[in-house]
Amino acid sequence: MYIYEMKKERAHLAKQIAKLQKDLELLPNQKLFITKNGKYNKWYIANGHTPVYIKKNQRELAEKLAQREITEMNLKNACQELDSMDRYIKEHEQRSLEQQKWFTNNSELQKLLETSKDFTPDSSTDEYLQKWMQESYESNPRYPEKLIHKTMDGKRVRSKSEVIIANALHHHGIPYRYECAFRSEDMTIYPDFTICHPQNKQIFYWEHFGMMDLSRPFQVLCKR
């Protein structure tokens, strides 16, 4: 499963666990015990060596105890699944860091690999996103000397706040381009982040508010 989808599913699972825990608080904190007597079943509340018989007119209590059993089982399974997801995500992130460290330490080898059509640094990403991430693009040519901050995936950006944004996008497996050219009929601008949605491939633009006065033309342009 693509890591973006897994993290989305993890968030959904965490909400499910919270709901199951809340449901348990509303159910009797007792154990249902069932015995068979010929054609009939008898319900009991497990109470050590002396189970308490539940009469037929107390069916609602038996139903709640049965509901508690299935809720406890669902909660246990959900917690185990969440634990498995957490371990996988942690291992995936560790592998990603090790891979990025490898590329950083082998920059010349990376240049050779990038010219190969078979180069796929992240097999979890589909073909379209891989191509989008590897394609060259026109970036902002102004003040290259100010690109002094390095992101987790090895890019150079202009501010520490942009490092935080870039690292968050990379951490969640969201492809992006930094200061990629955006052209209209009469102007070219360079929004801070051009983001490709991992699911529907839609393009989004993120202009960091650090220089709002300069980003105003872009804001107007995006409203068209």
Of the two residues 159 and 109, the one the predictor is more confident about is: 159
> Hey, where are the domains in the chain?
3-105, 127-222
Half-sphere exposure of 113 (CA within 13 A, CB side): 11
User: Is residue 110 very low, low, confident or very high in pLDDT (cuts 50, 70, 90)?
Assistant: low
Q: Give per-residue pLDDT as tens, 199-222.
A: 778 888 888 765 444 444 444 344
Q: Over 70: is that where the pLDDT of 4 sits?
A: no
> Would you state the pLDDT for residue 219?
43
Per-position DSSP letters for 42-80, written without gaps between them: EEEEE-TTSPEEE-GGGHHHHHHHHHHHHHHHHHHHHHH
Q: Give per-residue pLDDT as tens, 41-100.
A: 999 998 877 899 999 999 999 999 999 999 999 999 999 999 999 998 888 778 777 776
Is pTM beyond 0.85 here? no
CA 24/CA 27 separation, integer angstroms: 5
Mean pLDDT of 106-131: 61
**Starting from the edge strand earliest in sequence, which strands make up the sheet with 31-37, in order?**
31-37, 40-46, 52-54
Q: Which two tokens stand for residue 144?
A: 């290259």
